[in-house]
A and B are shown apart, each in its own frame.
Chain A
Amino acid sequence: MIAVEVRYYNMLRHRTGAQRETVALPPGMTLRAALEHLITLHGPRLREMLFAPGGELSPHLVIFHNQRLVRRDHDHSSGDPGPGLSLADGDELMLFPAISGG
């Protein structure tokens, strides 16, 4: 298993009741699968904050993987992280509502 640190902010902190946690995941688990795993940990009401009704990542969720912004419209050639990236031991995920303004 690998250890991934997950940090929750704003309404995601409210919903999970956690500011940060370390979760144990199978090696190579994708970011998308890891988010599904978080729903099993924190209950089904977390789903609406992570996924859109169609199953894709919520457009109102912002994720950073190891301090880099995850692109929902991931272009593999760009080198930016996307939802399909494989997580590694010691990785960090930061989850925010897509709030802006200031």
Chain B
Amino acid sequence: MFPYRGYAGKWLYVDLTTGEIEPRAYEATLAEEYLGGNGFGTRLLWEHVGPDVAPLSPENLLIVATGPLCGTPLPTSGRMEVVGKSPLTGIYGDANAGGFFGPELKFAGWDAVVFTGRAAHPVYLRVADEAVELRDARDLWGLTTSATEDHIRQALRDEKIKTATIGPAGENRVRYAGIQVTLQRSAARCGLGAVMGSKNLKAIAVRGHGQVTLADPDRFRQLNRDLRRRLRENPVYPAVHAHGTPGIAALMNALGRFPTRNFQSGSYEHIDRIGADALEARAFVRHLACYSCPVACDKLYRIPDGPYAGTTLHSVEYETLSALGAGIANPDLDSILFANRLCDDLGLDTISTGRSISFAMELWEKGILTAQDTGGLTLEWGDVETTLKLVEMIARRQGFGDLLAEGVRRAAAAIGRGAEAYAMHVKGMEIPAQDGRAQRSMGLAHVTSTRGADHLKAFPTIDETGYPEEARRRYGEGYLPELADPLASRHKPMLVKDGEDFGAVVDSVGLCKSGGTFVLAEIYWPDVAAALEAVTGMEMPVVRLKCIGERIYNLQRCYDAWHGVTRADDALPRRFAEEPSPSGNARGQVIDLEPMLDEYYTLRGWDRSTGWPTEEKLRELGLEEASPWQRPG
């Protein structure tokens, strides 16, 4: 008998090669040491997918996991986690999405679904409470994500089914194909949609009628009320609610942190045409919220007229305004929205898609690519027609799109002729919409992220805006003023380490990073610990929760080390160290990572020369068996 509330207490193991579906009991020790979600996936990946397993082979796992807080009435508790070995980076990979899928899986009575193998033909998994079956998806293969969801809902005559689907990009194994989680959200990064496609798995469709049980309902009710009140009283809440993540675009542009023209600049001269205020005026229809979220940062947008008239989107992110806007010097907001919808339908990560196109455009600018290389395409900055064509070509691996579908690291290696200098990636993953020259903590976060270039592992929001209130509240007066200064390096390794450990917990329990934990910076270690106690009944002092976060992050690092990652891979492209930023508040700035990395490894208890967790640190975390020192690298 599983001892904790909050969990369904069982998960599904689906072997797509044999078609066997096996319910498995959730091990109490797994919950105690890894919580769920991200931690659950990390542990399974480490146990079952070694360096000999190719990411797109049947032996890779696709792990879809929820956490114990997911599906409770707690604010922002609608997140789900997807974990697998990434075909983009070849190392640990994960992606996270909000919406309603995660809670629905819990309501159906399952904490996770783990896929292995490869089906003989396209299938989708239907989960209807205890009834679970693989269904033929041959007639769905080739459809967009939205059409797939429509077909499944119609076929099963249930409009409330929640889906996670891939589009043509995942089927064609584009290395940065994402998984669309209903129309609203995407588990976009790391190419896990390609892993799904490699398994001939078109979709997961879930419907549940149960509920998540609570260990201490009275304490939970009080906590839930308190957190909701604090979120609504947070002074930044109105701005986040009003505009969602696009609300930061103009501010990041002023900081010089809004990647433009493939990171040649951090400020876009046409920001007022693509920022939140323009977006609101042009296309806002109404606010949308994920499951149990009082922040409601999603919006329904509709292009009212013009060549893309009638196009609707259920979410537009800050990242996409850079990737498909400033990043490729495209000031046409309507075309950004249309390209965003196209990526969602085709099942592409907008960040890596946009960065792959901006990489190609800079190569064109520098004369490294010509029409001979591109099959006749011209790649001028801001060329909307070419951009939209390329998005389709990438998803379908046609012509020059086939090369860009490999991601910038592989594309640069294939092109040669100095193209590597313009491939903006870390460990093979395209860099999102931050510039370490303008915000030191983000530069460090990009390189220490266990899934390649990423802002969300550490998510150091504290120093983005240069103001000290949140820094003081979380860390104390002693870290000021540097901790709140985006251009200061001091204390940033501490901020990044704390964010990574806390983020691992947030992704493991099923909360949202944009709904109060990092954005708004309202919900922190003591709140999550208290929520876990009230929901699960597990004793969870903060010190234990911190240890769990550290354990998860260290195991991910060990996994990467096992796949050959060392300190040498914790590096930004040369541009950030050698080309002073021309932009905004960051004008004249470059970033020197090495001193921050030294301090970061020391704080982590990692060896400074290799960047690997030391044996002593691993013993402390109960991870002796994961030691990269004992395994061939």
Contact = CB atoms under 8 A, between A and B. Distances in A.
Interface centre among B236, B486, B519 (most CB of A within 10 A): B236
Q: Is the interface of A mostly helix, strand, loop or mixed?
A: loop
A50 to B, nearest CB: 12
Contacts of A98: 236, 465, 467, 469
B466 A69 contact: yes
B585 A69 contact: yes
A10 B277 contact: yes
Nearest to A97: B239
Nearest to A49: B235
A9 B251 CA distance: 8
Contacts of A67: 254, 584-585, 587
B250 A96 contact: yes
Nearest to A57: B467
A101 B245 contact: yes
B584 A99 contact: no
A64 B585 contact: yes
A14 B465 contact: no
A68 interface: yes
Interface in A2-21: 9-11, 13-14, 19
B496 to A, nearest CB: 15
Contacts of B318: 101-102
Contacts of B459: 101
A47 B593 CA distance: 41
A101 B514 CA distance: 7
Contact of B235 (A13, A19, A60): A60
B240 A101 contact: yes
Nearest to A64: B254
B81 interface: no
A72 interface: yes
Contacts of A75: 481
B243 interface: yes
Interface in B232-259: 235-236, 238-240, 242-243, 245, 247-248, 250-252, 254-255
B236 A99 contact: yes
A102 B467 contact: no
A100 B276 contact: no
Interface in A78-102: 94, 96-102
A69 B257 CA distance: 13
A32 interface: no
Nearest to A98: B465
Counting contact residues on chain A (CB < 8 A from B), the size range is 20 to 34
Nearest to A13: B277
Given A73-B481, A101-B514, A19 B245 contact: no
A69 B586 CA distance: 9
A33 interface: no
B317 interface: yes
B480 interface: yes
Interface string B510-553: 00001000111000000000000000000000000000000000
B467 A59 contact: yes
Nearest to B460: A100
A101 B518 CA distance: 7
Nearest to B245: A102
Interface in A40-62: 59-60, 62
B317 A102 contact: yes
A33 B397 CA distance: 59
B254 A101 contact: no
A37 interface: no
A19 B277 CA distance: 9
B265 interface: no
A77 to B, nearest CB: 12
Contacts of B252: 102
Nearest to B456: A102
B467 A72 contact: yes
B469 A11 contact: no
B468 A72 contact: yes
A100 B585 contact: no
B319 interface: yes
A64 B240 CA distance: 20
A19 to B, nearest CB: 7
Contacts of A13: 277
A75 B242 CA distance: 34
Nearest to B251: A96
Interface in B138-163: none
A97 B587 CA distance: 22
B379 interface: no
A94 B434 CA distance: 20
Given A9-B251, A60-B467, A97-B236, 16 more contacts: A9-B276, A10-B239, A10-B276, A59-B469, A62-B466, A67-B587, A69-B255, A94-B250, A97-B238, A99-B247, A100-B464, A101-B464, A102-B245, A102-B318, A102-B434, A102-B514
Nearest 10 Cβ contacts at the A-B interface: A101-B519, A100-B464, A102-B318, A59-B469, A100-B461, A97-B239, A60-B235, A98-B465, A102-B245, A99-B239
8 contacts: A11-B242, A14-B242, A59-B467, A71-B481, A97-B247, A100-B465, A101-B248, A101-B459
